[in-house]
A and B are shown apart, each in its own frame.
Chain A
Amino acid sequence: MSIEISHVGKRFADFVALDDVSLSIKAGRLTALLGPSGGGKSTLLRIIAGLERADTGRVEIDGVDATRLPPQQRNVGFVFQHYAAFKHLSVRRNVAFGLEIRKRSKEEIRRRVDELLALVHLGQFGDRLPTQLSGGQRQRMALARALAVEPTVLLLDEPFGALDAKVRKELRDWLRRLHDEVHVTTVFVTHDQEEALEVADEIVVINDGRVEQVGAPDDLYDRPANEFVMRFLGPVTQLGDQLVRPHDLQLTTDGGDGVPGRITRVTRIGFEIRVEVTTADGQPVTVTLTRNELLALGIGIGTDVRLRIAPNTPTPTLPPTPTLAPAH
């Protein structure tokens, strides 16, 4: 059930969507393709599904060369951002579609659809039309429909992108739990780093048609391969010529070593306090603290502080590159 992608390239007219991408996706895992829009991640997913054809390279699904196979022969489940619900069919018939195409017996279809509807918590909605469901319910129906054919891989293209923040978070947890239950090799595309970090076993960062880094969420967060990955996976700030996560910076008021600076701004966002410190060199540095930390330090706008990178934290220090020249 693994997916092997070797040297895949794809261009649309002058635009290079994928540039010689090689990647191997492990069986039974939940893998996220993460990157900014237009970076090629959806194109890669669609090439795996057969909805798009690669110009060059090879795609192997479960050891079978699928490069030239039409989508209906690949046995993949595909979930679209905008659900792609069959509007004229009831929820049951939507879920049953793949099984009806495979000419399974009526009895088997009924049993399997019941199972799947229970799995996605839509047991009572079987006879409704998709237009009578909410966005989150529609997407769960689409998932059940994709799972019905027992696909070798499940592919999800920005599955929660069209949903509002709260439903998105619920479905995210739910997808994680579903995967722990069903264990089908799953690849999902997202541009939301939080979604990827929270849900995925493995993250593939894709930008400008190339793979920037592949790894477990912790690896990527703590040991980013380059500046792009570091910036894309979470907030960053710059101290001198080092790129640092704002929560890995410490503030002290009792002198000692560290870079001297003065607090110029304090912004509170829920539980998090964002403190902007301007160093003696005039460089603005962002530090995030919790409310309690701020109170304990007893600091506010105008306080002189010293900044240092927290010890014993896996703070990545990037190798100097031309784009990383000091800002001052």
Chain B
Amino acid sequence: MADSSIAARTPVGRRPARHVLRAVVVAYLFFLVAWPLYLVGRNAFADGLASFRAILTDPDVTHALQLTVVIAVVAVVINTVFGVGISMLLVRYDFPGKRALNALLDMPLSVSPIVVGLALILVYGGRDGWFGPTLEAAGFQIIFAVPGMVMATVFVALPLVIREVVPVLQEVGDEQEQAARSLGANAWQTFRRITLPSIKWGVIYGVVLSLARSLGEFGAVKVVSGNVLGDTRTATLVVEEKYLNFDKGGAYATAFLLALVAVACIIVVSVLRPKEER
């Protein structure tokens, strides 16, 4: 759609400029994204399926892949529930400190994941964290365990659902919700039957972006996981470890799997989406 509207507005005389611009964009994306990703795929299949067979029969790697999926799914569920809730709060209600909260929500995008990891250790670290020893005494280990890894992943992917849902909520407005209330629906029925269906695509997009981001998280997870083989090592950590140990085939094969899931997510959504008229 953007394409046709630009074409409609461009006078005939500017055609060459448009072709040049298009060529620049295509070349840029090719050298920055497509070519490197293609090479990952090619290297992964350099020995046929041997590298894949090797990593998929390695119990440590399969454990890492499972762990990655579990952490990503849990983090996405948490981020979706809180993301939709916070979006409603930001769009539908006025309260003091709203601007500050809004700015704070962008923090995870601007702070380096490794800083996130260190910050979490400072608060929840078992030995000298601010809150950690108390929790550990009560039997909850956060750092160097799955809960800490989930927290780190939730933190880095926090704004993605919110940033997708907020503009949709704003565009939809609250008249439909008011109409539902006047027809007898309570708050939950209004949300379930009216609000959620109208922000559905925003939520789905947010979920997909969060999932892709969560699967690929490296820095924050590396700091808080302790990177224990077969225990708290995730797929991204496997890629690093294999790469550093000159197991390039294994590294590329694992990297390819990670990229494949992310690309698949985005393809599925873009295939589904046009059917729904917004």
Contacts and interface: CB of A to CB of B under 8 A. Distances in A.
Contact of B179 (A74, A75, A84, A88): A84
B182 interface: yes
Given A82-B175, A86-B194, A88-B197, A101 B181 contact: no
Nearest to B175: A84
Contacts of B197: 88
A317 interface: no
- The size bracket of the interface on B is 10 to 19
A71 B181 contact: yes
B184 A101 contact: yes
B3 interface: no
B interface, by DSSP: helix, strand, loop or mixed? helix
Interface string B188-210: 01000110011010000000000
B176 interface: yes
Nearest to B193: A97
Contact of B176 (A74, A75, A84): A84
B178 interface: yes
A49 B182 contact: yes
B47 interface: no
Contacts of A71: 178, 181-182
A77 B277 contact: no
B182 A77 contact: yes
B186 A72 contact: yes
A101 B182 contact: no
B182 A78 contact: yes
Contacts of A102: 184
A33 interface: no
A72 B190 CA distance: 10
Nearest to B196: A88
Interface size class of A (residues with CB under 8 A): 20 to 34
B179 A86 contact: yes
A87 B176 contact: yes
B180 interface: yes
B184 A98 contact: yes
A145 B183 contact: yes
A76 B175 CA distance: 16
A75 B189 CA distance: 16
B183 A149 contact: yes
B257 interface: no
A278 B262 CA distance: 81
B185 interface: yes
Given A80-B175, A101-B189, A131-B277, A88 B198 contact: yes
Given A70-B181, A97-B193, 12 more contacts: A51-B178, A51-B181, A71-B182, A72-B186, A76-B182, A84-B178, A88-B198, A88-B200, A101-B184, A101-B189, A102-B184, A145-B179
27 contacts: A49-B182, A50-B181, A50-B182, A51-B178, A51-B181, A51-B182, A71-B178, A72-B181, A72-B185, A77-B182, A77-B183, A78-B179, A78-B182, A82-B175, A84-B179, A86-B176, A86-B179, A86-B194, A88-B197, A88-B198, A88-B200, A97-B185, A98-B183, A98-B184, A101-B183, A101-B185, A102-B184
Interface of B: 175-176, 178-186, 189, 193-194, 197-198, 200, 277
